[in-house]
């Protein structure tokens, strides 16, 4: 049965919120604190309507059940916050171009590769900002073994990012010279929009990936951007991620976090702070020859 159009009377009790929190926490590390009740209620009402259920208790039973696996994904998608914009926190792009790019250029000259990971990439603005900024500094990267992996738990943002078409209201942060070089004007439902040109699009691989699960990548990254993602996780979940990011980072690489995120005890993980919410491997870790890691993020010593 469909919910009536005015379904504002459908109430989410604190007990059901707590039970939904258990589901979202185990599935994606997402915290649904009691003070988020109104937000959860308003985001999940749409899912109730889509599934034809009339109470949050019935919805809870569905997402808890084996048969509810696909709805669980939709629930996580509805609960994630996908706010992002182009060239957010621009100091990280400067560090990338000033400190990592020169190393990558000499790596490339020796026949090596240059790899970046945007973890929690939302609609792709972060990954496309990285590409545009680096190609602006060094156009020859187009002919190098240079790739970006961009991942997110939310399938909706991944398909949006793959299409790479942004309504004009979303592209305000892009400097005009980069927009005219790397994007072409188009229309979406009659509204002005811009699409990334194919040469830029093909440098990025967008993939669905839940950071709580095993990471299937078998090589390390010269830079990892995981910005404004761990803020939605609790302390233990964040702490479980730091060693995994450490293992996934090349010896001279950088981990970039969002402005309100910190590695709690960087020393203990083998990180040092090397800029604003920027981490590099501590000296002893840099000499490590490990360049691959297993699925739980432990280095395996091969080079
Ligand atoms: C606020 S956006 C950040 C986007 C971009 N990194 C930025 O700073 O603008 C947070 C993203 O993290 C993703 N996310 C949340 N939990 C996740 C998880 N367990 N695994 C992977 N991505 C997750 C969300 O889907 C969302 O797109």
* Whether residue 100 sits in one domain with residue 74: no
The pLDDT of residue 283 is 82
Distance (Å, whole) CA 131 – CA 124: 11
Q: How far is the CA of 249 from the centre of ligand 1 (A)?
A: 19
pLDDT at residue 103 tops 90: yes
Atom of ligand 1 nearest to the CA of 83: 1
Is any atom of ligand 1 closer than 6 Å to the C-beta of 214? no
Nearest CA to ligand 1 atom 12: 120
CA distances (Å), 35 to each of 44, 76, 196, in order?
A: 15, 18, 39
For residues 91 and 97, give the distance between their C-alpha atoms in angstroms, rounded to a whole number.
10
Could you give the CA distance from residue 118 to residue 76 in angstroms, rounded to a whole number?
19
State in Å: Cα 63 to ligand 1 middle. 21
Residue 291 lies in a domain: no
Q: Give the domain CATH number at 184.
A: 3.40.50.150
What share of the chain in percent tops pLDDT 90? 90
pLDDT at 4: 41
How far, in Å, from the CA of 121 to the mean position of ligand 1? 6
Give the pair of three-digit tokens for residue 52: 């034809």
Classify residue 20: in a domain, yes or no. yes
pLDDT at 8: 56
Distance 30 CA to ligand 1 centre (A): 10
Domain interval for residue 58: 14-79
Mean pLDDT of 42-51: 96
Average pLDDT for residues 85-108, to the nearest whole number?
97
Query: In sequence order, what are the beta bridge partners of 165?
Result: 195
Least confident piece of the model among 91-100, 178-187, 289-298: 289-298
Tell me how crowded residue 253 is: count the other CB atoms within 10 A of its CB: 24
Domain identity same for 98 and 213 = yes
**Which tens digits make up the pLDDT trace of 125-176?**
999 999 999 999 999 999 999 999 999 999 999 999 999 999 999 999 999 9
pLDDT at 87 over 50: yes
| 205 counts as catalytic | no
Catalytic entry in 72, 73, 115, 152: 152
Closest ligand 1 atom number to CA of residue 28: 19
User: Are 120 and 182 in a shared domain?
Assistant: yes
Asked if the structure places residue 23 within a domain, the reply is: yes
Q: Are residues 173 and 152 in the same domain?
A: yes
Mean pLDDT to the nearest integer, 41-56: 96
75 and 97 part of one domain:
no
The token pair at 283 is 């000296």
Residue 295 belongs to a domain: no
Q: What is the pLDDT of residues 234-293, one digit of tens each?
A: 999 999 999 999 999 999 999 999 999 999 999 999 999 999 999 999 987 665 434 333
Catalytic annotation present for 43: yes
**Inside any domain, residue 46:** yes
Q: CA–CA distance from 280 to each of 39, 90, 142, 189, 266 (Å)?
A: 36, 18, 26, 44, 10
Q: What is the pLDDT of residue 248?
A: 98
What is the predicted pLDDT for the residue at 126? 98
Asked if residue 230 and residue 133 are part of one domain, the reply reads yes
CA of 81 relative to ligand 1 center, distance in Å: 7
Total count of domains within the chain: 2
Choose, from 43, 49, 64, 262, the residue flagged as catalytic. Answer: 43
pLDDT digits (tens, 9 = 90+) for 200-225: 999 999 999 999 999 999 999 999 99
Burial state string for 241-251 with b = 16 or more CB within 10 A and e = fewer than 16: bbbbbbbbbbb
For ligand 1, say whether the CB of 211 is within 6 Å of any of its atoms: yes
Q: How confident is the model at residue 9 (pLDDT cuts 50, 70, 90)?
A: low
Mean pLDDT of 187-200: 97
104 vs 289, higher pLDDT: 104
The answer, yes or no, to whether any atom of ligand 1 lies below 6 A from the CB of 88, is: yes
In 3D, which of 108, 115, 3, 21 has the Cα closest to residue 64?
21
């Amino acid at each position: 049965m469909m919910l009536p159009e005015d379904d504002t009377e459908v109430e989410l009790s604190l007990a059901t919120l707590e039970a939904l929190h258990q589901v979202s926490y185990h599935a994606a590390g997402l915290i649904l604190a009691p003070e988020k009740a109104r937000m959860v209620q308003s985001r999940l009402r749409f899912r109730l309507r889509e599934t034809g259920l009339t109470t949050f208790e019935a919805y809870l039973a569905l997402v808890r059940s084996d048969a509810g696996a696909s709805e669980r994904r939709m629930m996580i998608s509805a609960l994630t916050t996908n706010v992002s914009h182009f060239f957010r926190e621009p100091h990280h792009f400067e560090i990338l171009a000033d400190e990592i790019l020169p190393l990558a250029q000499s790596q490339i000259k020796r026949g090596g590769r240059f790899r970046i990971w945007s973890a929690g990439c939302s609609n792709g603005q972060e990954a496309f900002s990285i590409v545009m900024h680096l190609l602006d500094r060094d156009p020859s990267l187009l002919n190098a073994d240079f790739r970006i992996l961009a991942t997110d738990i939310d399938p909706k943002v991944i398909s949006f990012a793959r299409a790479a078409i942004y309504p004009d209201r979303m592209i305000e942060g892009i400097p005009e010279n980069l927009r005219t070089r790397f994007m072409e004007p188009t229309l979406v439902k009659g509204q002005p929009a811009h699409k990334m040109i194919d040469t830029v699009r093909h440098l990025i691989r967008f993939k669905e990936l839940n950071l709580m699960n095993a990471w299937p990548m078998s090589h390390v990254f010269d830079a990892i951007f995981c910005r404004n993602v761990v803020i939605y996780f609790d302390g233990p979940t964040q702490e479980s991620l730091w060693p995994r990011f450490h293992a996934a980072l090349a010896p001279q690489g950088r981990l970039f976090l969002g402005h309100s995120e910190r590695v709690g005890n960087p020393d203990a993980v083998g990180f040092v702070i090397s800029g604003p919410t920027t981490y590099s491997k501590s000296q002893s870790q840099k000499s490590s020859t490990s360049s691959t890691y297993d699925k739980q993020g432990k280095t395996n010593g091969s080079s």
